[in-house]
Amino acid sequence: MKQQISPSQIRKIILEQAKRANVGHIGSALSVADIITTLYFGVMRVSDPTDPDRDRFILSKGHAALALYAAFFMRDWITAEMLDTYCSDDTLLAVHPERLLPGVDFGTGSLGMGISYAVGAALAARMQNSKRRVFVLISDAECNEGIVWESAMFAAHHQLSNLYVIIDLNGQQALGYIRDVLDTAPMAEKWKAFGWDVKEVDGHSPEKIARTIQSCEQELGSPHVILARTTFGKGVPFMENQIKWHYWPMSAEEYRLALESVEKHP
């Protein structure tokens, strides 16, 4: 594992790779950079991505995969050479995570499916008397999908307290702001009504995210949902809260400015 990992290192890799490959989904990856950093460098018990008793992680909002690949690189699960194949021919690093890449527990890309897999994985851990936990990162817009609520109902009914759903609450979806497209608010009330242990946290504070997850461990009997309030495009001011950065790639000048912003906040 590389030493002293900070979210800004993850952000820098996201920008470098997005620029090199000339692809988008930058804003979504920046939005979850702090959450992913916290999980992979503080919270999850994963000594080795092939250990059957490792904590599981599912990036259900698969389009933020670049943040995940940056974490895998920092964990030394993939090499710099592999990382540089992102979105090139003959790569295992696609826009959405493919299962053959070391570290990917479940391939995703079709929104909503990851939480359903996670429920099964959490149930399996309990049936096998394992202490392993299951973390799944979904987006607020992903809650448009009915399967999220099927999964929520099941997990609460079966009291899967080894399941942690983290919602990247950035208020945006592909073509607009959630409040304009299909509003998912009020989130806390919805999840409470479904029988979940609901926590809210600043999704850009690794310390607070880690503390919140730790505090969940005391709460037995219900699955946990962590509403992580985030800013889409966090760390790059001209991308923040801008719909266009869901899909848009960066120009040379935008890349220079973006790197500058990220490096300013180590």
Contacts of 45 (CB under 8 A, 6+ apart): 54, 55, 132, 133
Binding to another protein in span 85-104, by CB under 8 A: 99
DSSP string, 5-18: --HHHHHHHHHHHH
Q: Which of 84, 150, 200, 240 is close enough to bind another protein by CB under 8 A?
A: 150
C-beta of 158: minimal distance to another protein in Å?
Answer: 8
Q: Which of 122, 178, 198, 213 is close enough to bind another protein by CB under 8 A?
A: 122
What x-and-dash track marks residues 127-146 binding another protein by CB under 8 A?
xx-----x-----------x
Gap between the Cα atoms of 226 and 137, Å rounded: 10
Q: Give strand ranges (E) for 60-180.
A: 134-139, 163-169, 172-173, 176-177
What is the total count of residues that contact another protein (CB under 8 A)?
A: 30
Binding segment toward another protein, per CB under 8 A, in 38-46, 110-118, 196-204, 249-257:
110-118
Gap between the Cα atoms of 72 and 5, Å rounded: 12
Regarding 107 and contact with another protein (CB under 8 A), the answer is: yes
Q: Report whether the peptide linkage leading into residue 186 is cis, meaning its omega lies within 30 degrees of zero.
A: yes
Q: Which is nearer to another protein, 14 or 138 (CB)?
A: 138
Gap between the Cα atoms of 108 and 128, Å rounded: 25
Contacts of 220 (CB under 8 A, 6+ apart): 161
Q: Which of 120, 144, 205, 242 is close enough to bind another protein by CB under 8 A?
A: 120
What x-and-dash track marks residues 56-75 binding another protein by CB under 8 A?
x-------------------
Regarding 110 and contact with another protein (CB under 8 A), the answer is: yes
Regarding 151 and contact with another protein (CB under 8 A), the answer is: yes
Contacts of 139 (CB under 8 A, 6+ apart): 28, 60, 61, 111, 167, 168, 170, 173
Q: Which residues bind another protein (CB under 8 A)?
A: 52, 56, 99, 105-107, 109-110, 113, 115-125, 127-128, 134, 146-147, 150-151, 153-154, 157
